[in-house]
Amino acid sequence: MTRVRLLGLPLVLLSAGFSIWWGFSLARFVAGGPLDFQGLYYGAQCLLQHHNPYNVSELETVYRADGGEHPTDPIQRRQTVTLYVNLPHTFFFTAPFTMFSLRTAQVLWLILTGSAFTLSGFLIWDLAARDAPILTGCLLFILLANSELFFLTGNSAGIVVSLCVVAAWCFLRDRFVTAGILCMAISLAIKPHDAGFVWLYFLLAGGVHRKRALQVLGVDVVLGLSGLLWVFLVAPHWMQGWRANMATLSLPGGLNNAGLPAVSFNIMGGVISLQTVFAVFRDDPRIYNPLTWLVCGAMLAVWSVRTLRTSFSRAGALLALAAIAPITMLVTYHRAYDAKLLLLTIPACAMLWARGGATRWIALALNTLGIWLTADFPLAIIMTMVRDMHISTATFSGKLLTIVLMRPAPLILLAMSIFYLRVYMRPAIRGICVESGKGIAAQYDSRIAQCS
């Protein structure tokens, strides 16, 4: 067992290193470098030059003045670079990169992303390998080796997801807690729709974990108010621009639209929320948004009540995080790179596998499919296979075929959510005591999983 666990570090380094190398290689062929980072970089530069980054014309002027060419793609390049939608306190984290040229800033950003991502993979190995090292290694390898989009696009999700995982490890292990608070605060500040429900778990868990969640909230309140003040002093009408940009991105044909025009747009980098499934049947946000919120809201309500009524335990925490990670992806706009948050499902899968029974096979199947169908290479293969297919959505069978072929990720994420939520609702499963921390699973961390 010790020898197998020692393989964790080279395994994580190898798989994450492959994504970093391949993503860097692909990014060299993108004009100007990673597109998503260009938006972050020029948005911060625009604010520092006392212009409104949420105003398309002002941001594009700064972009062109720095040598940027007029985007040739009317959707992807133009909307990514010139429609700034990040929250004001994001500038605190992106402004320091404007001290360097775009190329240098991109390299530094990608190095930071790669370091954080690799660290998060190693920490998940630390949480899960003691239960099932071989299974953990396989799942980690699939996920880490298929994360090229982080480095191809430079999207902040790479840092956000990684820091969220690091913070969860710090809180579960009760080590480096201050660092965990800072990591969760940064993650929550940049992309609250990625880290929000993970933070909510620690808030609802009570005890020392609630204290840490409130400390995270305190840091984010300070950052949020400071960011709002900074942006308001430079651009008093920034809110109108932010709303306009969000609306533009959500229009039919926009990058964030979940409707039918987006179904065939880009499977690899497309939206994976549950809205994309309902939209196939009724392409109307007044229909597919409430339906999504109803389904996800019901699961979230059950999950929240269970968390409030359950004493903290290692087993309960792992199952709760495994349930909330896929729910996070379903409830609102997310892309495949956000789904790397499924790292948090691997320890629960390993724990169930070690306990035996039929449940472990279901966990293995769902985790493998969930990670595979949100991984970069498999999605690229699927996109190539269906690119020239013309499937009519006029019939019910055509709609089902469209969902299965072009939007498989939301379906498997929904199945994962239901499965882990169902297991989390059970007070005990083959030696795992979810409610009190008793049982085999508690032996690994007696400082945290105390019997009430």
In the block, residue with structure tokens 């020692």: 6
Q: What is the mean pLDDT of residues 308-328?
A: 94
Of the candidate ranges 69-73, 144-148, 310-314, 395-399, the one whose mean pLDDT is the lowest: 69-73
pLDDT digits (tens, 9 = 90+) for 34-46: 888 988 999 999 9
Mean pLDDT, to the nearest integer, of 359-381?
91
In this prediction, residue 450 carries a pLDDT of: 39
Which helix (H) or strand (E) segment holds residue 160: the answer is: helix 157-173
Mean pLDDT of 409-428: 92
Q: Do residues 271 and 289 make contact, with C-beta atoms less than 8 angstroms apart?
A: no
pLDDT score of 65: 84
8 Å CB contact between 320 and 303: yes
| pLDDT number for residue 341 | 96
Would you state the pLDDT for residue 27?
78
Assign residue 413 a region (left: φ > 0; alpha: ψ between -120 and 50; beta: otherwise). alpha
**What is the pLDDT, as a whole number, of residue 267?**
59
Whole-angstrom distance, CA of residue 51 vs CA of residue 31: 25
Q: What is the pLDDT averaged over residues 325-354?
A: 94
Task: Determine the average pLDDT of the residues in 292-319.
Answer: 94
Nearest-angstrom CA–CA distance, 88 and 70: 25
Tell me: pLDDT of 188 over 70. Answer: yes
Categorize the per-residue pLDDT at 415 as very low, low, confident or very high, splitting at 50, 70 and 90: very high
Chain segment 89-106, per-residue pLDDT in tens: 899 999 999 999 999 999
Contact 269, 75 (CB under 8 A): no
CA-CA distance, 84 to 77, in Å (whole number)?
12
pTM of the model: 0.89
Q: What band does 257 get if pLDDT is binned at 50, 70 and 90?
A: confident
- Those residues with Cβ within 8 angstroms of residue 28's Cβ, 6 or more apart along the chain or in another chain: none
Q: Which of 384, 385, 402 is nearest to 393 (CA)?
A: 402
- Asked if the model's pLDDT at residue 279 lies above 80, the reply is yes
Pairing of strands 432-433, 428-429: antiparallel
Instruction: Tell me what the pLDDT averaged over the chain comes to.
Output: 86
Over the stretch 383-395, which tens digit does the pLDDT of each residue have?
A: 777 766 677 677 7
Please tell me the distance from the alpha carbon of residue 110 to that of residue 150, in angstroms, as a whole number.
Answer: 8
Averaged pLDDT for residues 144-162: 91
- Six-digit token string for 448: 């945290």
Q: Got the DSSP string for 227-244?
A: HHHHHHHH-TTHHHHHHH
pLDDT of residue 57: 87
Averaged pLDDT, 160-165: 96
Q: What is the pLDDT of residue 442?
A: 41
Query: Whose CA is closest to 153, among 38, 251, 235?
Result: 38
Domain ranges, ordered by start, for the chain: 2-444
Distance between CA 403 and CA 411 in Å, rounded? 8
Backbone torsion region of residue 431, taken as left when φ is above 0, otherwise alpha when ψ lies between -120 and 50, otherwise beta: left
Contact 191, 90 (CB under 8 A): no
Angle between helical axes of 285-309 and 314-331 (0-180°, round to 10): 170
CA distances from 171 to 58, 214, 221, 432, 445 (A): 42, 13, 20, 20, 12
| 3-state SS class at 265 | coil
Instruction: Read off φ and ψ for residue 433, nearest 5 degrees.
Output: -100, 105
Question: What average pLDDT does range 68-92 have in this prediction?
Answer: 71
Residue 231 has pLDDT above 80, yes or no: yes
Among 433, 204, 446, residue whose Cα is nearest residue 309: 204
Percent of the chain with pLDDT over 90: 53
Q: How far apart are CA 434 and CA 320, in angstroms?
A: 10
Residue 432 has pLDDT above 80, yes or no: no
Nearest to 4 by CA among 139, 134, 162: 134
